[in-house]
Amino acid sequence: MKQALGAVRRKFQPWNDPASRPFIEFRNVSKQFGSFTAVDHQTLTVFEREFHALLGPSGCGKTTLLRMLAGFEEPSEGEIWLDGKNLAGVPPHRRPVNMMFQSYALFPHMSVEKNIAFGLKQDGMPRGEIAARVDEMLKLVKLEPFAKRRPDKLSGGQRQRVALARALAKRPKVLLLDEPLGALDKKLREATQFELVGLQESLGLTFLIVTHDQEEAMTVADRISVMKEGKIAQIATPAEIYEAPSSRYVADFIGSVNVFEGTVESSSPGRLQLETDQGFTVRTATAPVLGAGTKAWFAVRPEKMRIDHDRPEGDGVNMVSGEVWDIGYLGDVTVYNVRLDSGKLVRASVMNAQRAVARPISWEERVWLSWSDDAGVILLD
Partner 1 sequence: MAEKERTSLSRRVVTWIPYAWLVVFFLIPCLIVLKISLSQTALAIPPYEPVFSTFADIRDKVGEFSLDSFALLTQDSLYWLSYLSSLEIAAISTILLLIIGYPIAYGLARANPSIRPYLLMLIILPFWTSFLIRVYAWIGILKPEGLLNQLLISLHLISQPLAITNTNWAVYIGIVYSYLPFMVLPLYATLEKLDVTLLEAASDLGATPLKAFWQVTFPISLPGVAAGALLVFIPAVGEFVIPDLLGGSDTLMIGKTLWHEFFDNRDWPVASAVAIVLLVALVVPIVLFQNAQSRAQGAK
Ligand X SMILES: Nc1ncnc2c1ncn2[C@@H]1O[C@H](COP(=O)(O)OP(=O)(O)O)[C@@H](O)[C@H]1O
Give the binding site for ligand X (CB under 6 A): 33, 36, 38, 56, 58-64
Separation CA 124–CA 120 (nearest Å): 7
Establish if 166 lies at the interface with partner 1 (CB under 8 A). yes
Separation CA 69–CA 87 (nearest Å): 8
Is residue 100 a contact partner of residue 176, using CB atoms and an 8 Å limit?
yes
Q: Which of residues 53-72 bind Mg ion (CB under 5 A)?
A: 63
Query: Minimum distance from CB of 42 to ligand X (Å)?
Result: 12
- Beta-strand (E) ranges in 153-269? 174-178, 206-211, 223-228, 231-236, 258-268
Which of 22, 40, 90, 105 binds partner 1 (CB under 8 A)? It is 105
Which of 178/222 has CB closer to ligand X?
Answer: 178
Establish if 225 lies at the interface with Mg ion (CB under 5 A). no
Q: Which of residues 355-374 bind Mg ion (CB under 5 A)?
A: none
Task: For residue 167, give Cα distances in angstroms to 86, 104, 117, 129, 284.
Answer: 22, 10, 10, 17, 48
Query: Minimum distance from CB of 287 to Mg ion (Å)?
Result: 36
What DSSP state is assigned to residue 312?
P
What's the one-letter identity of residue 35? S
What DSSP state is assigned to residue 60?
S
Task: For residue 35, give Cα distances in angstroms to 31, 75, 76, 334, 356.
Answer: 10, 14, 12, 48, 60
Query: Minimum distance from CB of 126 to partner 1 (Å)?
Result: 16
Establish if 20 lies at the interface with partner 1 (CB under 8 A). no
Residues 21-60: x where in contact with Mg ion by CB under 5 A, - otherwise, as a string? ----------------------------------------
Task: For residue 130, give Cα distances in angstroms to 33, 119, 135, 136, 169.
Answer: 40, 10, 9, 10, 9
Establish if 189 lies at the interface with partner 1 (CB under 8 A). no
Region of 2-10, 85-93, 139-147, 304-312 interacting with partner 1 (CB under 8 A): 85-93
Establish if 91 lies at the interface with partner 1 (CB under 8 A). yes
Residue 38 contact, options Mg ion, partner 1, ligand X, none, Cβ 5-8 Å cut-off depending on partner type: ligand X
Q: Which of residues 109-138 bind partner 1 (CB under 8 A)?
A: 109, 118-119, 122-123
- Provide the binding-site residues for partner 1, judged by CB under 8 A: 70-72, 91-94, 97-99, 101, 103, 105-109, 118-119, 122-123, 150, 152-153, 166-167, 170
